[in-house]
C-alpha cells in the first residue's frame, strides 16, 4: 500500500503511518472518551480509576469477542444514570446539597447493572437463532438515521453547558479542531481532537491562575501509583454481613429494563460506526457478537464497581474526523486507559481538564454524530415524500430532544407495581420509532435484498 498519499483517504491499516503516529492516534481516542467517561463516576459517586480500568478492559473484551473488526471504544454509559439515582441517590452534605456518594447502596446498583448486561446476551441469542434479516427489519434507515441524529442532538446540551464555563477556552478547542481538520497537512490533519485539547488546556492555564493553582494542587496531592479496584465498592460486597435480599431484587427490577433502551442505542451506534467507516458491521461480525461484547463488558465492569459500558459516540466522531479506521488504534486507547487507571497523579491531571475544553471538543464530536445520521438518511435515499417516513422521523427527533430537555432528569418516569421506571428521551423515541415502523404500511426495504436502504449502513461496495 502506498503511504496514504492523500490524507483525506480512509486509512484501514494504521501501521502504514508508523508507530509514533499510531501511538498518538491512540492517545487522541483516549482523550476523546476521557471527559465523558469520568463524568459518570463524578455524577454517581463511583470510582474514577475503576471506571478507567474497565473502560479499557471492556473495550479489549469487546474487540476479542468481535474478532477485532469493529473500531469501537466502550466508555461509561449515561443511560443508566437514572438507575443509579433511583437505587443509590447521593446523600446530602453539610450545606444540604446532594454531593456525598451513597457507598452503601452503590454496590446494589452495580449488581442491578450487571444483570442488565445479561439482557444483551439474550437479544444476541435471538439474532443468532433467527438471523439479522428478521430482526433488522425493525431497524431500517428511517429508524436508525433519526436515532443517530438524536444521539448527537441530545448530547449537545452537555457540551454547551461545559462551554459556558469559559467560552474563550472552548472556542480555542473548536477553532484548532476546525483549522487542523480543514487546512492541516499530514499528521496535523489526522489528530485535530488531541491538538484541540492541548491548545485549549494550555490557554486555560495561561489566562486562569485559579484553575492553574487547582490543577497543581490536585496533581501534587495525588499518588504516582494506586490500585483502581476497591473491594467494598464492588457488587460482590453486597453479599456481606449486611446483605439485604429485598434491596438486591429491587435494584435488579429497577435497572434491568433500561437495557432494552440501551440495546436500541447500541444498534444505532453500530450503524453510525458502519456508516463512518464504510463497512457493514451489522453483518460482519454481526450484531449478535457486538451485543455480547457490549453486554459482557457492562456486566464485568459493574461487578467490580465500575459503571455500565457502551460504545462511544465521541470516538465515532474522531473516526469521522481522522479517517483512520484501524481498530488497533482503539485498542491502543484502551491500553492507555488501563495504564492511567494505575496512576492517580496523571489521572488527576486529566480529570482536572477544564470543563470548557471538554465542552469545545465535545461540541464538534456530538455534531459529527448527528451529521453521520443525516448521511445515513441521504446515502440510503430515504423517501420523505411518504407520510409514514416523515411521521416516524418527526416523532423520533421531537421525542428524543423534547423529553431530554423538558425536565432536569431528562426522562419520563412512571411506576409499575410499585417500582419506578425511568426512560430517557432517546429510549422513548427509539421505541416509538420501532413500533411505528412495524405497524405503519408502506415498508419499502428488506435486509440483504434492497441495497437502497439495506441496514442504513451498506451504501456502496465493501471497502477492505
- The predicted pLDDT at position 71 comes to 92
Q: Give the CA distances from residue 420 to residues 77, 253, 414, 415, in Å, rounded to whole numbers and listed in that order.
A: 20, 9, 6, 4
293 located within any domain: yes
- The predicted pLDDT at position 392 comes to 92
Q: Give the CA distances from residue 250 to residues 57, 70, 136, 187, 384, in Å, rounded to whole numbers and listed in that order.
A: 29, 35, 33, 51, 44
**Sequential DSSP letters for 164-199:** TT-HHHHHHHHHHHHHHHHH--THHHH-HHHHHHHH
- The predicted pLDDT at position 191 comes to 72
Give the mean model confidence (pLDDT) for residues 60-81: 89
345 located within any domain: yes
Q: How far apart are CA 176 and CA 196, in angstroms?
A: 5
Choose between 245 and 334: higher pLDDT. 334
Q: Give the CA distances from residue 189 to residues 170, 183, 358, in Å, rounded to whole numbers and listed in that order.
A: 20, 7, 20
Structure confidence by residue, pLDDT tens digits, 220-241: 887 888 888 888 889 998 887 6
Report whether pLDDT(421) > 70. no
Q: How far apart are CA 347 and CA 257, in angstroms?
A: 33
Run of H or E including 309 = strand 309-311
Report whether pLDDT(464) > 50. no
Query: How large a percentage of the chain has pLDDT more than 90?
Result: 22
Which span out of 135-149, 286-300, 421-435 was modeled with the highest average pLDDT?
Answer: 286-300
Give the mean model confidence (pLDDT) for residues 379-391: 85
Report whether pLDDT(115) > 70. yes
71 located within any domain: yes
- The predicted pLDDT at position 2 comes to 44
Give the mean model confidence (pLDDT) for residues 113-135: 86
Q: Which domain holds residue 208?
A: 21-93+102-439
Report whether pLDDT(456) > 90. no
Calculate the average pLDDT of the chain: 81
- How many Cα neighbours within 13 Å face the side chain of 419? 16
Is the CB of residue 191 less than 8 Å from the CB of residue 24? yes
User: Which ranges of 45-140 does DSSP label H, i.e. alpha helix?
Assistant: 48-65, 81-87, 106-136
Report whether pLDDT(62) > 90. yes
4 located within any domain: no
| pLDDT tier for residue 215 given thresholds of 50, 70 and 90 | confident
User: Which region among 24-28, 135-139, 400-404 has the lowest average model confidence (pLDDT)?
Assistant: 135-139
| pLDDT tier for residue 299 given thresholds of 50, 70 and 90 | very high
Structure confidence by residue, pLDDT tens digits, 259-277: 766 777 788 788 878 888 8
**Sequential DSSP letters for 379-447:** HTT--TTSHHHHHHHHHHHHHHHHHHHHSTT-EEEEEETTEEEEEEHHHHHHHHHHHHHHHSS-----T
Choose between 451 and 266: higher pLDDT. 266
| pLDDT tier for residue 378 given thresholds of 50, 70 and 90 | confident
- The predicted pLDDT at position 214 comes to 79
11 located within any domain: no
Structure confidence by residue, pLDDT tens digits, 6-19: 445 788 888 888 88
Structure confidence by residue, pLDDT tens digits, 146-186: 887 887 888 788 788 888 888 999 999 999 989 988 888 76
- How many Cα neighbours within 13 Å face the side chain of 307? 32
> What cell numbers appear for 307 in the block?
459503571
142 located within any domain: yes
- The predicted pLDDT at position 459 comes to 24
6 located within any domain: no
453 located within any domain: no
What is the domain count for the chain? Answer: 1
Q: Are strands 74-76 and 419-424 parallel, antiparallel or unpaired?
A: unpaired
Report whether pLDDT(99) > 80. no
Amino acid at each position: 500500500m502506498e503511504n496514504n498519499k492523500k490524507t483525506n483517504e480512509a486509512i484501514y491499516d494504521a501501521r502504514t503511518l508508523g508507530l509514533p503516529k499510531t501511538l498518538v492516534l491512540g492517545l487522541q481516542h483516549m482523550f476523546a472518551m476521557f471527559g465523558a467517561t469520568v463524568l459518570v463516576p463524578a455524577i454517581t459517586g463511583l470510582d474514577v480509576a475503576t471506571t478507567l480500568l474497565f473502560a479499557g478492559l471492556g473495550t479489549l473484551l469487546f474487540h476479542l469477542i468481535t474478532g477485532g473488526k469493529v473500531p469501537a471504544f466502550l466508555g461509561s454509559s449515561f443511560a443508566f444514570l437514572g438507575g443509579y439515582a433511583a437505587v443509590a441517590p447521593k446523600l446530602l452534605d453539610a450545606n444540604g446539597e446532594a454531593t456525598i456518594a451513597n457507598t452503601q447502596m452503590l454496590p446494589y446498583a452495580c449488581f442491578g447493572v450487571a444483570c442488565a448486561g445479561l439482557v444483551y446476551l439474550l437479544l444476541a441469542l435471538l439474532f443468532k437463532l433467527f438471523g439479522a434479516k428478521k430482526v433488522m427489519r425493525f431497524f431500517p434507515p428511517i429508524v436508525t438515521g433519526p436515532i443517530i441524529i438524536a444521539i448527537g442532538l441530545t448530547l449537545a446540551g452537555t457540551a454547551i453547558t461545559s462551554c459556558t464555563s469559559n467560552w474563550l477556552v472552548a472556542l480555542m478547542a473548536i477553532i484548532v479542531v476546525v483549522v487542523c481538520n480543514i487546512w492541516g497537512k499530514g499528521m496535523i490533519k489526522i489528530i485535530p481532537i488531541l491538538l484541540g485539547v492541548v491548545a485549549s488546556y494550555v490557554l486555560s492555564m495561561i489566562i486562569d491562575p485559579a484553575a492553574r493553582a487547582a490543577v497543581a494542587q490536585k496533581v501534587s496531592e495525588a499518588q504516582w501509583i494506586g490500585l483502581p479496584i476497591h473491594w467494598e465498592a464492588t457488587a460482590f460486597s453486597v453479599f456481606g454481613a449486611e446483605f439485604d435480599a429485598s434491596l438486591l431484587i429491587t435494584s435488579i427490577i429497577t435497572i434491568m429494563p433500561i437495557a432494552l433502551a440501551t440495546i436500541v442505542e447500541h444498534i444505532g451506534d453500530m450503524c453510525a460506526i458502519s456508516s463512518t467507516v464504510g463497512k457493514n458491521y451489522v453483518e460482519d461480525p454481526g450484531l449478535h457478537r457486538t451485543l455480547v461484547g457490549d453486554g459482557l463488558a457492562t456486566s464485568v465492569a459493574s461487578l467490580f464497581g465500575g459503571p455500565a459500558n457502551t460504545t462511544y459516540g465521541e470516538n465515532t466522531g474522531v473516526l469521522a474526523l481522522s479517517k483512520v479506521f484501524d481498530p488497533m488504534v482503539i485498542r491502543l486507547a484502551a491500553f492507555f486507559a488501563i495504564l492511567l487507571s494505575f496512576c492517580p497523579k496523571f489521572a488527576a491531571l486529566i480529570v482536572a481538564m477544564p470543563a470548557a475544553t471538554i465542552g469545545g471538543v465535545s461540541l464538534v464530536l456530538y455534531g459529527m454524530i448527528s451529521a453521520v445520521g443525516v448521511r445515513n438518511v441521504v446515502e440510503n435515499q430515504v423517501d420523505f415524500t411518504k407520510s409514514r417516513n416523515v411521521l416516524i422521523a418527526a416523532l423520533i427527533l421531537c421525542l428524543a430532544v423534547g423529553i431530554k430537555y423538558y425536565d432536569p432528569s431528562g426522562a419520563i418516569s412512571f411506576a409499575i407495581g410499585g417500582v419506578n421506571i425511568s426512560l430517557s428521551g432517546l429510549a422513548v423515541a427509539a421505541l416509538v420509532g420501532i413500533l411505528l415502523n412495524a405497524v405503519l404500511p408502506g415498508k419499502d426495504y428488506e435486509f440483504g435484498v434492497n441495497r437502497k436502504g439495506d441496514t442504513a449502513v451498506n451504501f456502496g461496495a465493501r471497502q477492505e
